[in-house]
């Protein structure tokens, strides 16, 4: 009897926790601008925490990101509760049929990780599975390091000095 109660308790406990995702996403693109698209479908009801790690992403970047979900029925509805890129919070729309989250261009040091928190919640009449999904994009542009600006200014100074010297000689 105790075993059966323990088993039922274990099943009830796992039913309120959705499947969490931890995955690597490759950034693609050319030069200093790169982008990645990603998505996930949650097949279980409950709260979730998904983490997307983007690579390669060592460096300083201007980062923007967006998430979207559209659920026409309760078992396909994702509700976002929070989302962060390296601790920078995304702005969330309110809960509803269509939800989105976004991060306006923000300078962030990599490696980059996006963590999404939310839940899939619906009245389960009898064991009906969830099929709730969301998708998103993350875009990065390299930000020059301060040393690059110093080198640029030094070069402009040399060109200005050469032009001044020429002007004096003429």
CA distance 42 to 59: 32
Kindly state whether residue 129 falls inside one of the protein's structural domains: yes
CA distance 58 to 113: 11
**Domain carrying residue 100:** 18-145
Kindly state whether residue 152 falls inside one of the protein's structural domains: no
| Structural domain count, the chain | 1
**pLDDT the model gives residue 59:** 86
Task: Report yes or no: 51 and 22 within 8 Å, Cβ to Cβ.
Answer: yes
Task: Report yes or no: 64 and 53 within 8 Å, Cβ to Cβ.
Answer: no
Tens of pLDDT, residue by residue, the chain (170 residues)? 444 333 333 333 344 456 788 999 999 987 789 999 999 999 888 899 999 999 877 889 999 999 999 988 888 889 999 999 999 999 999 888 899 999 999 999 989 999 999 998 876 655 667 889 999 999 999 886 666 556 667 677 777 777 777 778 87
Q: Residue 120 belongs to a domain with what CATH number?
A: 2.60.120
Kindly state whether residue 40 falls inside one of the protein's structural domains: yes
Q: pTM of this prediction?
A: 0.74
């Amino acid at each position: 009897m105790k075993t059966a109660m323990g088993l039922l308790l274990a099943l009830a406990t796992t039913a309120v926790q959705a499947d969490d995702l931890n995955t690597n996403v490759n950034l693609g693109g050319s030069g200093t601008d790169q982008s990645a698209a990603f998505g996930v479908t949650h097949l279980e009801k409950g709260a979730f925490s998904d983490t997307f790690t983007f690579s390669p992403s060592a460096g300083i970047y201007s980062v923007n990101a967006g998430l979207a979900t559209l659920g026409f029925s309760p078992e396909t509805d994702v509700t976002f509760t929070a989302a962060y890129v390296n601790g920078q919070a995304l702005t969330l729309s309110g809960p509803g049929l269509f939800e989105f989250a976004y991060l306006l261009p923000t300078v962030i040091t990599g490696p980059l990780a996006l963590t999404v928190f939310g839940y899939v919640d619906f009245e389960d009449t009898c064991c009906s599975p969830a099929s709730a999904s969301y998708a998103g994009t993350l875009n990065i542009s390299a930000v020059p390091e301060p040393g690059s600006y110093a080198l640029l200014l030094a070069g402009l100074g040399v060109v200005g000095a050469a032009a001044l010297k020429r002007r004096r000689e003429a």
